[in-house]
A and B are shown apart, each in its own frame.
Chain A
Amino acid sequence: MTLTVFTALLSHWRRNWLQFFALIAGLALATALWSGVQAINAEARASYDAAAATLGEGQFDQLVPRAGGTVPQDTYVALRRAGWQVSPILEGRLDADRGRVRVLGIDPLTAPGTMAPVAMNADADLGAFLEGELVFANAETADRLEGQIPQRILIDEGIAPGIAVTDIGAAQRLLEADGQLSRLTLARVQPMGLPPLSAVAPDLTRQPAQDAGANRLTDSFHLNLTAFGLLSFAVGIFIVHGTISLAFEQRRGMVRTLRALGVPLRTLVVLTIAELVVFAVLAGAVGVALGYVMASVLLPNVAATVQGLYGAQVAGTLQLRPEWWVSGMAIALGGTAIAAAGALWKIAHMSILESARPRAWSVASGSGATRLGAVALGLFGLGAGIAIWGQGLLLSFALLACVLIGAALILPLMLRSAVGLAERLSTTVIWQWFWADTRQQVPGLSLALMALLLATAANVGVSTMVSSFRVTFVDFLDQRLAPELFVQIEDEARSAEVETVLRNEAREVLPLLSVETEIAGVPSDLFGVRVGPTYRENWLFLDRSGDVWSQVADEDAVVVSEQLARRAGLWVGDPVRVAPDVTLPIAGIVADYGNPLGQAVMSETLFRSIYPDQIATQFGVRTEDPEALTRILLDDLGLPPAAVIDQARIKAFSLSVFERTFTITGALNVLTLGVAAFAILMSLLTLASLRVPQLAPVWALGMTRRDLGRLELLRSVILALLTTLLAIPLGLLLAWVLLAYVNVEAFGWQLPMYLFPGHYAVLSLFAIVAAAVAALWPAFRLSRTPPSSLLKVFANDR
């Protein structure tokens, strides 16, 4: 009997394949968006974790040079011989022919805990490692190193991209840093009664275990992606809910008949649940597969973006990780459960004698909208409370949820009011009917329209955020890339020669001297610059005191980046130790977006006195004729073409990083709008058959089917337009929450919010076009409804 009943239940879907398709496709799309985003996040996280594990960053306290430079190996031995359980690390860049590699030298004998995920095996014994014969790297990095180093390279995919792990001794040889170390990690457990660090190693400072700065930055990026994924899932769930509700409404007759035939209610409910589980698993599997495809298409972009923005590397290939595909399946099942709960409850409580006539929910009374509106107001209140009193990332997300769900729930009420107003204002009969009919349609379309609202709002919000970031960033690039040409030489010996030529040919020559160092405990780049008109005219300060550049030129002050200032808790006027014997006040603070390292800028003369061995290998050049100068550099000096970079190219490259961000946002925009359009299409198609009895009288009164079709299309466009009008302020609110709350929590700084009306117009247009396209086919079908079908309405009425 069970099988028979189950077959009977399934017969509904056989007869309504479109509904079945909507159900599966909606659920699959929702799952795909969610699991795709999760897959990208999981992949990136795994890469960061590998990096953190490889570098031991974040897990252990570190001892770093107080004023930059390196740690002498003798200091390490002195600390060990004083009892301190420290382990040496040497890091540096190795320029291989096929790209840069970060060499990480460790001492496996003293390395604490999980620092070196180096998979030793039969052909990689510790002895060979300790004797400096082995280098571990992932396949891609190994490829870059192949033939470049004397060591044997062993592939270990557990190592973060771009990093090569080797013994400390081998690293010293590879990086030509004999007797030097970058930093020391401190074991968590230290012996009792140790002498104070300051007595043994006064030049080192202890940096507490913490998440590396880049982690927080990249987290923010992923947070935004997650928010997007969650929104997309919400949109998908609206579709599924709509489809399931409708299907259950339509099956009321079947349910009544089955029960009248003696099928126990329990069996019926269990079978219905079984049916839904089968669908959810099916759709979930399709969704996870789609998500995989989506993620693998987007991942290279994400990897490039994250690397470009934050310097963190993400592997470019996707792995099937349980954390995302399991969560994808779970959310498909959970989503179905949420979407179907109401419908199941109705079936379970349906009286056997109740009318079998589908009380299509399109005719649900207006009280539903009012009730939803009340819930929405409650959510808005809660959101306001969070905005005022709340703090923390989680609450920021709760605030987002309140705003978005509230807006979705209040949509039917607002649409009803708007349409009601139009109805009162219209004078002709046809239009009065049109508006009345539209009002009638609102409940049936409301779920799809909510999906459209959320999709459009998400797009507006995210694009506002990304564009605001971009505007800020472009300003910043203009400031930093003022010189027309950049000249980079490989051979330090030619530095003076190149500078002489440049000095003769160019308006202003700006040698760029820099060292990687540690300032106030923050990993930073220290720059020595030749103060001149370029710096004076182009650099904008977030905060300053007096004539910043004159103070810098007089060696009386330094300029630091916002990151360095905020992380070190310093501001204008505070003294900062930038080199072992140099402490200067901060004269100005500059923005330096997207750079995990701090920056400090001092005058060239001071820099040269501190680091007499540093030779400028980079020059910024101001010139009226970049092309002529480029020719001189290439032809007369014989510099390779790659050595001369014009400003426009660097800027283009930097912007291309942003374009990738836009590619991702753009792709997600299209996907979410696509999902919303699909929801509208499905709602209209399923409503179409129910609409025939309502349209037949109008047709009988003389309106042509063609006109009916046109009005149907117009209605969709008008509803989409109204929804979009609401979506724009909602999107802006979303952007504001993202910039003012989520970003502050995640990034640690607030970005200015810019408005992009043109952008919003285009997005609205997209939304309306999506709705129109979705309505096109149903309208076309309506205009081709056979007169017999319309006539039947009257026949059946009798």
Chain B
Amino acid sequence: MIARVLLILLLLPALAQAQGFAGLGTEADDFAVPRAGYRFDFPQDHGPHPDFRIEWWYLTANLEAEDGTPYGVQWTLFRSALAPETADGWGDPQVWFAHAALTTEDAHYVAERIARGGIGQAGVTVQPFNAWIDDWRMAGPSFDDMRLTARGAEFAYDLNLLAEGPLVFHGDAGYSVKSDQGQASYYYSQPYFRVSGSLTLPGGEVAVTGSAWLDREWSSQPLADTQSGWDWFSLSFDSGDKLMGFLLRETDGTSFSSATWIAPDGTTTAFPNGAFRAQPLDITRVAGRDIPTRWAVQLPERDVDVTVKALNPNAWMGVSIPYWEGPVTVEGSHSGKGYLEMTGYE
């Protein structure tokens, strides 16, 4: 117990950066920092960047059974470096951890894995693509064609991902600014995955289909130390348009926002701070905290004025650093589905 608590406290700086709250560890130290104008190089950039402090492969999927029952799936692999280098064996300063979740309308299953780099327990290789921690895998012949697996004590999933569109770059061609002081990250997505596969729930196996959105992001100091958490939306409208938008909440009550509009053909428009707006409508008491689970989301430049509602308000990720993450439905000027992540609610 003590060890676990301490472990969490100690991982906190790295994890807080990854999740964007608590305002800790915003110094880059010896780590590399993102620069505007970076030319991405694939498939290499699908792999890890150990000279940056943090990095993630973050997949969320909105799925449906044959009878129309909605499900949400999350698969996230984080890399957190203690030093900007790699080594063989236990001395490797790269630490990996992962979260997997399966959400239904009335249940939310979560599992967490932590592993050391250097011994083969977790890592990412690019050709063929393989991101793994323990037996959880996101792997395939290429980044466009992968199989995704994870399991916990009460759930498992095994999904095929096929990309039906191009990679999408946020901010300035993948250079995503996170604060007025210039904190930034490299950030691109593959929001066009078509998904088919099966979920294993306590009640049995369910065949599902749907869509998935994969975010890739790495940085060394993505947040300003005045930022306490974030609300992140990835919305897929029935029109074929997609919207990624986030609010970085400042401790003084203001916020920093950013958004990317993705047309059906994959062309993007980045919106600066202030264009994207999100207001909580309903608060739910979850795990002893007040969490906004229904939002009014607006992007006036694109005539977006929608209500975003959690499929399951209790989609609480009770992991080492807890946060809220779950599937949402969209109604209003546009309709659709998506995922919502909220961190830093104490």
5 A-B pairs, CB-CB below 8 angstroms? A108-B3, A113-B1, A132-B90, A168-B90, A192-B156
Q: A126-B10, A126-B11 are in contact. Are A113 and B4 (CB under 8 A)?
A: yes
- Closest CB in chain A relative to B274 CB, distance in Å: 38
Identify which of residues 112-164 in chain B touch chain A, using a CB-to-CB cut-off of 8 Å: 114-116, 119-121, 132, 134-135, 151-156
* B120–A119 touching, CB < 8 Å: no
CB contact between A83 and one of B1, B115, B151 (< 8 Å): that residue: B151
- Closest CB in chain B relative to A274 CB, distance in Å: 44
> With a CB–CB cut-off of 8 A, which chain B residues contact A191?
111, 135, 151-153, 156
> With a CB–CB cut-off of 8 A, which chain A residues contact B111?
191
- Closest CB in chain A relative to B69 CB, distance in Å: 20
CB contact between B82 and one of A73, A114, A130 (< 8 Å): that residue: A130
Q: Is A77 an interface residue (CB 8 A)?
A: yes
- B122 to A, closest residue via Cβ: A80
CB contact between A192 and one of B2, B82, B95, B153 (< 8 Å): that residue: B153
Expressed in whole angstroms, the Cα–Cα distance for A500 and B257 within the complex equals 83
* A118–B152 touching, CB < 8 Å: no
> With a CB–CB cut-off of 8 A, which chain B residues contact A170?
90
Q: A80-B115, A81-B134 are in contact. Are A114 and B153 (CB under 8 A)?
A: no
Expressed in whole angstroms, the Cα–Cα distance for A125 and B4 within the complex equals 14
- B114 to A, closest residue via Cβ: A109
CB contact between B3 and one of A115, A169, A172, A189 (< 8 Å): that residue: A115
> With a CB–CB cut-off of 8 A, which chain B residues contact A656?
none
Expressed in whole angstroms, the Cα–Cα distance for A127 and B12 within the complex equals 12
0/1 interface trace, chain B 284-310, chain A, CB 8 Å (1 if under): 000000000000000000000000000
Identify which of residues 82-118 in chain A touch chain B, using a CB-to-CB cut-off of 8 Å: 82-83, 85, 107-111, 113-118
Expressed in whole angstroms, the Cα–Cα distance for A678 and B93 within the complex equals 68
* A119–B6 touching, CB < 8 Å: yes
Q: A108-B7, A109-B116 are in contact. Are A114 and B156 (CB under 8 A)?
A: no
Expressed in whole angstroms, the Cα–Cα distance for A417 and B95 within the complex equals 82
* B153–A190 touching, CB < 8 Å: yes
Expressed in whole angstroms, the Cα–Cα distance for A168 and B200 within the complex equals 35
Identify which of residues 112-150 in chain A touch chain B, using a CB-to-CB cut-off of 8 Å: 113-120, 125-127, 130-132
What's the A-B contact tally at a CB cutoff of 8 Å?
Answer: 92
Expressed in whole angstroms, the Cα–Cα distance for A85 and B151 within the complex equals 12
* B3–A81 touching, CB < 8 Å: no
- Closest CB in chain B relative to A117 CB, distance in Å: 6
* A118–B132 touching, CB < 8 Å: no
- A132 to B, closest residue via Cβ: B91
> With a CB–CB cut-off of 8 A, which chain A residues contact B3?
108, 111, 113-118
Q: A114-B1, A114-B2 are in contact. Are A193 and B200 (CB under 8 A)?
A: yes
Q: A109-B116, A115-B3, A131-B82 are in contact. Are A192 and B135 (CB under 8 A)?
A: no
CB contact between B154 and one of A108, A113, A117, A192 (< 8 Å): that residue: A192
- Closest CB in chain B relative to A35 CB, distance in Å: 29
- Closest CB in chain B relative to A181 CB, distance in Å: 11
* A81–B135 touching, CB < 8 Å: yes
- Closest CB in chain A relative to B251 CB, distance in Å: 24
Q: Is A167 an interface residue (CB 8 A)?
A: yes
Q: A191-B151, A192-B151 are in contact. Are A167 and B115 (CB under 8 A)?
A: no
Besides the contacts A83-B135, A192-B151, what 13 more A-B pairs have beta carbons closer than 8 Å? Answer: A83-B134, A109-B115, A113-B4, A120-B9, A126-B7, A130-B116, A131-B91, A132-B91, A167-B90, A191-B111, A192-B152, A192-B155, A193-B151
Q: Is B332 an interface residue (CB 8 A)?
A: no
- Closest CB in chain B relative to A168 CB, distance in Å: 6
Expressed in whole angstroms, the Cα–Cα distance for A221 and B132 within the complex equals 50
> With a CB–CB cut-off of 8 A, which chain A residues contact B166?
none
- Closest CB in chain A relative to B129 CB, distance in Å: 17
Identify which of residues 164-206 in chain A touch chain B, using a CB-to-CB cut-off of 8 Å: 167-170, 172, 189-193
0/1 interface trace, chain B 239-253, chain A, CB 8 Å (1 if under): 000000000000000
Q: A81-B132, A82-B135, A191-B111 are in contact. Are A172 and B90 (CB under 8 A)?
A: yes
Expressed in whole angstroms, the Cα–Cα distance for A77 and B120 within the complex equals 7
> With a CB–CB cut-off of 8 A, which chain B residues contact A131?
82-83, 91, 93
Q: Is B89 an interface residue (CB 8 A)?
A: yes
Expressed in whole angstroms, the Cα–Cα distance for A125 and B95 within the complex equals 14
* A118–B6 touching, CB < 8 Å: yes
> With a CB–CB cut-off of 8 A, which chain B residues contact A192?
151-156, 200
Main SS at interface, chain A: loop
0/1 interface trace, chain A 42-85, chain B, CB 8 Å (1 if under): 00000000000000000000000000000001000100111101
Q: A115-B3, A120-B10 are in contact. Are A127 and B93 (CB under 8 A)?
A: yes
- Closest CB in chain A relative to B319 CB, distance in Å: 13
- A110 to B, closest residue via Cβ: B114
Expressed in whole angstroms, the Cα–Cα distance for A127 and B83 within the complex equals 9
* B152–A169 touching, CB < 8 Å: no
- Closest CB in chain B relative to A644 CB, distance in Å: 41
* B151–A81 touching, CB < 8 Å: no
- B89 to A, closest residue via Cβ: A169
> With a CB–CB cut-off of 8 A, which chain B residues contact A80?
115, 121, 134-135
* A127–B82 touching, CB < 8 Å: yes
- Closest CB in chain B relative to A246 CB, distance in Å: 54
- Closest CB in chain B relative to A512 CB, distance in Å: 34
Q: A113-B4, A168-B90, A191-B111 are in contact. Are A77 and B121 (CB under 8 A)?
A: yes
0/1 interface trace, chain A 187-230, chain B, CB 8 Å (1 if under): 00111110000000000000000000000000000000000000
Expressed in whole angstroms, the Cα–Cα distance for A85 and B135 within the complex equals 10
CB contact between A189 and one of B93, B134, B153 (< 8 Å): that residue: B153
0/1 interface trace, chain B 186-198, chain A, CB 8 Å (1 if under): 0000000000000
> With a CB–CB cut-off of 8 A, which chain A residues contact B82?
127, 130-131
Identify which of residues 229-263 in chain B touch chain A, using a CB-to-CB cut-off of 8 Å: none
- Closest CB in chain A relative to B192 CB, distance in Å: 30
Identify which of residues 475-490 in chain A touch chain B, using a CB-to-CB cut-off of 8 Å: none
- Closest CB in chain B relative to A184 CB, distance in Å: 13
Expressed in whole angstroms, the Cα–Cα distance for A107 and B111 within the complex equals 19
> With a CB–CB cut-off of 8 A, which chain A residues contact B200?
192-193
* B152–A81 touching, CB < 8 Å: no
- Closest CB in chain B relative to A57 CB, distance in Å: 16
* B2–A117 touching, CB < 8 Å: yes
Expressed in whole angstroms, the Cα–Cα distance for A118 and B6 within the complex equals 9
- Closest CB in chain A relative to B95 CB, distance in Å: 7
0/1 interface trace, chain B 73-92, chain A, CB 8 Å (1 if under): 00000000011000001110
- Closest CB in chain B relative to A94 CB, distance in Å: 18
Expressed in whole angstroms, the Cα–Cα distance for A116 and B153 within the complex equals 24
> With a CB–CB cut-off of 8 A, which chain B residues contact A73?
119
- B90 to A, closest residue via Cβ: A169
0/1 interface trace, chain B 1-30, chain A, CB 8 Å (1 if under): 111101101110000000000000000000
Expressed in whole angstroms, the Cα–Cα distance for A83 and B133 within the complex equals 9
Identify which of residues 152-173 in chain A touch chain B, using a CB-to-CB cut-off of 8 Å: 167-170, 172
Identify which of residues 525-583 in chain A touch chain B, using a CB-to-CB cut-off of 8 Å: none
Expressed in whole angstroms, the Cα–Cα distance for A175 and B49 within the complex equals 33
> With a CB–CB cut-off of 8 A, which chain B residues contact A114?
1-3
- B150 to A, closest residue via Cβ: A191
- Closest CB in chain B relative to A380 CB, distance in Å: 49
Expressed in whole angstroms, the Cα–Cα distance for A109 and B115 within the complex equals 6
Expressed in whole angstroms, the Cα–Cα distance for A190 and B116 within the complex equals 19
> With a CB–CB cut-off of 8 A, which chain B residues contact A132?
90-91
> With a CB–CB cut-off of 8 A, which chain A residues contact B153?
189-192
Expressed in whole angstroms, the Cα–Cα distance for A111 and B114 within the complex equals 10
> With a CB–CB cut-off of 8 A, which chain B residues contact A83?
134-135, 151
Expressed in whole angstroms, the Cα–Cα distance for A80 and B95 within the complex equals 15
* A130–B93 touching, CB < 8 Å: yes
Identify which of residues 30-52 in chain B touch chain A, using a CB-to-CB cut-off of 8 Å: none
Expressed in whole angstroms, the Cα–Cα distance for A109 and B98 within the complex equals 12
CB contact between A110 and one of B1, B115, B120, B154 (< 8 Å): that residue: B115
> With a CB–CB cut-off of 8 A, which chain A residues contact B90?
107, 130, 132, 167-170, 172
- Closest CB in chain B relative to A58 CB, distance in Å: 16
- B10 to A, closest residue via Cβ: A126
- B132 to A, closest residue via Cβ: A81
